[in-house]
Structure 1
Amino acid sequence: MSPYWVAVWRALPAGILMLMLRPRLPTLVWSKLGLLAFCNIGAFFALLFIGAYRLPGAVAGTLGATLPLIFLMLAWLIDKKRPGIKWLLLGLMGLGGVILLLNPSADLDPIGVLCMLSATTLIAFSSRWMQKWDVGDFLVLTAWQLLLGGLMLIPLAWFMAGPPQLPSMTLVPSLIWLVIANTAVAYWAWLWSMRNLGPEIMGMVALVNPVVAVSLGVLIVGETLDMRQWMGIAVILLSLLLMKLPQNLRLNPFKKVQP
C-alpha cells in the first residue's frame, strides 16, 4: 500500500476513534483548529513523506533534530526573547550528538532538505500557537486535528498514488497498532506535553527519538554500533541531563532582548 494512503488510514481512524471516546465539538475556533491540523498533520505528513523519499534516513533524522534550535530562533525573532547561552549550547550539543549517531551522508537533495526543515518549522509554529491559544480539552483537540488532517491528506494521496487503497488483512494488526499507539496516544501525549512542559523542553526531549530507534535496532535486529555512534548517544543523553542544571534554567530559558 502506498505510504500516502497509509498516512490517510493512520490519521482518519485515529481521529474518529478519539471522537467516539469524547464526542464533543472543539472549543477552539475552526480557523485556528484548521491551521493546527494543517501544520501538525496535513502538511507535516506530506512534507515528511517527500523528504523521506528524497533523503537517506540518517539525513532526515538529523534535520528533524534541529527542532530545539528552531524553537529558540522563533522566540528570538518573533517574541524578541534572546535564548540563554546554556539553552543555545544544549540545542547545538543535542544536534551534534544526533549527527554523530546517525552519520548523515554528504549527498543532500535540496528539495528533500527544504521539505524536512519546513516540516520541522511547521511543528515549531504550531507548538507556539498552542502555548498562546485556549485549546480546551486535549483529547478533543487531538481528535479533531487528526480527523481534519486526514481529510486534507486524501487529495494528496489520490494525486500521488491513485484511488483509495485499502490495507490487506495481513497489514491490519500493524495498522491497528499504528492508529492506536503511534498516532492517537502519541499525538495526544505530544500535544499535552507541548502545552504543559513547553516547546523548548519538548524540543530537547525529541532528541531521544533517534536514540530509541538505534537502540531498537541493536536489541531486536542485532545491529552493532561503532565508537562514533556510542559517543553520539552519550552526547544526547548528557544534553538532556544538563537541561536540569540549574533549576532556574528550565523555568526561564529565555532572556528578554533589551530595546
Structure 2
Amino acid sequence: MGASIEKPTENWRWVVLSASAPAVWGTTYIVTTQFLPPGYPIWSSVLRALPAGIIGLLICKQLPRGEWIWRSLIMAILNIGLWFPLLFVAAYRLPGGMASVLSACQPLFVIAFAWVLLYQSPSIWRVAWAIAGVVGVAVMVLASDSIFDPLGITAGILGTVSMALGIVMTKKWQRPTDGFTWAAWLLAWGGLLQLPMAILFEGTPPPQDLRSILGYAWLSIAGGLLTYWAWFTGLGKISAVSASFLPLLSPLVATLLGYLLLDELLTLPQWFGFLLCLTAIVLSQIAPPWGAAQTSLRGATRR
C-alpha cells in the first residue's frame, strides 16, 4: 500500500476542542504536588480513572460488544492503564516543567507510528515543527534548576510512547460509538486494570482530606471524563499527527501555573522556549507558506 501524505487540518473548531484536553492535563502536575497525598502514584491513577469511568457508564448506559471488548481493552491500556500511572510517577518525581517536557517528543513518536501503521508519510513541515517543539520545551527545562531523576524520566518517556501509540491506534481502528461513551469505556477499563496493582504495590487507598478530595475530583471529572470526551471527539475529526502536537500545551500550562501560582521565575531562555513551543503548536496545524504543495520525507509532492 502506498503512503499518503498527512495534511494540516483546516477545521479549527475540532483543533480547539481537542486542545482543551492537554491544556487541562497540564494542571496535573500542580494538582499532584499541591493537593494529593505524596507517594501514591498508582492509587492516584485509579482514583482519576475509575470514578470518571463509572460516572460515564451510568450516563451513557452502553457497554462494548463483540470485538470492541478486546479492542477497547487494548486502547484502555495504551491511553489510560499505562499512561496514567506513568504520568503520576513522573509528576511525583519530577518538577512540573520537566515532567511534561517528555511529552514534547510525542509528535515524533506519532509521526513514526503513523508512517508504519497508517501509511501516512509525514511532511517535512510537520517534522520540522515537531523538532522545534522538542527544542522549545527542552530549553524551558534545561534553563531551569530541575533535578534529573532517572526513574521519573523513564516513566515520562514510556508514558509518552504509550499515548502516542494510543493516538495512532485510535485513528487506525476508529471508534464504534460517540466520544463520550468511548471515553467512559476506556476510563472504566483503565481504572479496573490498575486497581489490583494499586492494592498490591501501595496497599490501602491514600488518606483523604478536603484538599485531596478536591484534587482527585478535578483530575477525575475535568481532567478525566470531560477532557477525554473532548480529546476522542476531536481526534475523530483531525489527523493523528495534528493531534500529536496539542499535548505540547501541557508543559506550557504547567510552566505558566508554576510561574503564576508557585512563584517559579522564568529566565529569558525559558520564555524563548515557551514561545517556540507555542509557535510549533500553531504552525503545525496550518499549510506551509509556500502554498498547497507539501513535500514528504519520501520526496513525494501533493498538489
Moved more, 45-54 or 35-44: 45-54
1:1-259 map, 5 Å = 1=37, 2-26=40-64, 29-103=68-142, 107=148, 109=150, 111-135=151-175, 136-165=177-206, 167-243=208-284, 244-246=286-288
Offset of 1:34 from its aligned partner? 0.4
More helix by share: 1
Counterpart AA for 1:226: T
Q: State the distance in 1 between where 2:292 and 2:140 align.
A: 26
Distance 1:228 1:193, change over 3 A: same
* Conserved 8 A contact 1:19-1:143: yes
Moved more, 123-132 or 172-181: 172-181
Matched pairs, number: 257
* Conserved 8 A contact 1:101-1:232: yes
Q: Identity percentage over the alignment?
A: 31
Counterpart AA for 1:145: L
- In structure 2, the gaps of 5 or more residues are 1-36
Distance 1:132 1:225, change over 3 A: same
Q: State the distance in 2 between where 1:190 and 1:250 align.
A: 28
Distance 1:29 1:78, change over 3 A: closer
Distance 1:250 1:159, change over 3 A: farther
Q: State the distance in 2 between where 1:219 and 1:250 align.
A: 41
Distance 1:251 1:242, change over 3 A: same
* Conserved 8 A contact 1:97-1:232: yes
SS in 2 for 1:197: coil
- In structure 1, the gaps of 5 or more residues are none
* Conserved 8 A contact 1:81-1:256: no
TM-score, normalised by the number of residues in structure 2: 0.75
Q: Which whole-Å deviations, capped at 9, do the CAs of 1:78-136 have from their partners, x for residues lacking one?
A: 45543221111100001111011122758462x54433222111111121121122412
Q: State the distance in 2 between where 1:213 and 1:52 align.
A: 11
Counterpart AA for 1:224: L
Q: State the distance in 1 between where 2:209 and 2:149 align.
A: 35
Offset of 1:246 from its aligned partner? 2.9
Q: State the distance in 2 between where 1:249 and 1:128 align.
A: 27
Offset of 1:46 from its aligned partner? 2.5
Offset of 1:249 from its aligned partner? 8.5
Q: State the distance in 1 between where 2:195 and 2:185 align.
A: 16
Offset of 1:168 from its aligned partner? 2.9
TM-score, normalised by the number of residues in structure 1: 0.86
Q: Which whole-Å deviations, capped at 9, do the CAs of 1:145-188 have from their partners, x for residues lacking one?
A: 11111011111111221123463344323322222111111111
Distance 1:81 1:176, change over 3 A: closer
